[in-house]
């Protein structure tokens, strides 16, 4: 299968979030058909949903030799390895991996929508994604990630000053 470029959002607000996120990226990069080619800085972000701790978020660009559904299965399996438990919508979690973009594919299945349906509304996604892929064009809006970032409130997103 041809290598496809994908954008991934990562988040955590339970446990040692920074270590969990670093380990999750390493876990993904060690998969036979996945290569992490870049990662954004780490960001502390205000949560959406019920009261809970702040998140640490980042984005990564992957090259994969997996179909979208197979990649999604890999992401869900990785979340499970890091004790992700789904209790409530937008609730706290040890690890959240969201497939944002899969090349320029537009897809809607019962289990996967591409591009991610809410990515253009979320500063905690667009800020780190714009850092590593500012010129990637959102296949539905026709706007670049940098352009999408210009029209949202980014006040709840703070860059962390930590190593790696």
* pLDDT at residue 89 greater than cutoff 80: no
Token pair belonging to 130:
């714009």
Backbone angles phi and psi of 113, in degrees to 5: -120, 125
Cis peptide before 65 (omega within 30 of 0): no
Unique residue bearing structure tokens 């809607």: 108
If you average pLDDT over residues 44-67, what whole number do you get?
Answer: 93
Report the C-alpha gap between 17 and 73 in whole angstroms.
Answer: 22
DSSP 27-52: HHHTSTTEEEEEE---EEE---SSS-
If you average pLDDT over residues 111-121, what whole number do you get?
Answer: 96
- 4-159 folds as Alpha-Beta Plaits (3.30.70)
- CA angle, corner 77, sides to 75 and 83, nearest 5? 110
**Would you say 148 and 140 are in contact if contact means Cβ atoms under 8 Å apart?**
no
* pLDDT at residue 84 greater than cutoff 80: no
**Would you say 61 and 100 are in contact if contact means Cβ atoms under 8 Å apart?**
no
Length of the chain: 164
Report the C-alpha gap between 27 and 160 in whole angstroms.
Answer: 22
Active-site residue set:
84, 93, 96, 98
pLDDT of residue 98: 95
Domain boundaries, the chain: 4-159
* pLDDT at residue 87 greater than cutoff 80: no
Nearest in space to 89 (alpha carbons), one of 128, 126, 55, 49 = 49
If you average pLDDT over residues 101-128, what whole number do you get?
Answer: 96
pTM recorded for the entire structure: 0.93
* pLDDT at residue 163 greater than cutoff 80: no
């Amino acid at each position: 299968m041809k290598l496809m470029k994908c954008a991934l959002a990562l988040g955590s607000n339970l446990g040692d979030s920074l270590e969990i996120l670093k380990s999750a990226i390493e876990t993904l990069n060690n998969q036979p058909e996945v290569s992490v080619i870049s990662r954004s800085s780490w960001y502390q972000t205000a949560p959406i949903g019920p009261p809970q701790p702040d998140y640490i978020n980042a984005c990564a660009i992957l090259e994969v030799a997996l179909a979208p559904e197979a990649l999604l299965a890999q992401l869900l399996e990785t979340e499970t390895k890091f004790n992700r438990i789904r209790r409530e919508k937008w609730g706290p979690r040890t690890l959240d991996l969201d497939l944002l973009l899969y090349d320029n594919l537009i897809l809607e299945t019962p289990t996967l929508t591409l591009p991610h349906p809410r990515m253009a509304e979320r500063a905690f996604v667009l800020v780190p994604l714009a850092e590593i892929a500012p010129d990637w064009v959102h296949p539905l809006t026709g706007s670049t990630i940098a352009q999408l970032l210009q029209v949202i409130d980014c006040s709840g997103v703070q860059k962390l000053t930590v190593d790696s």
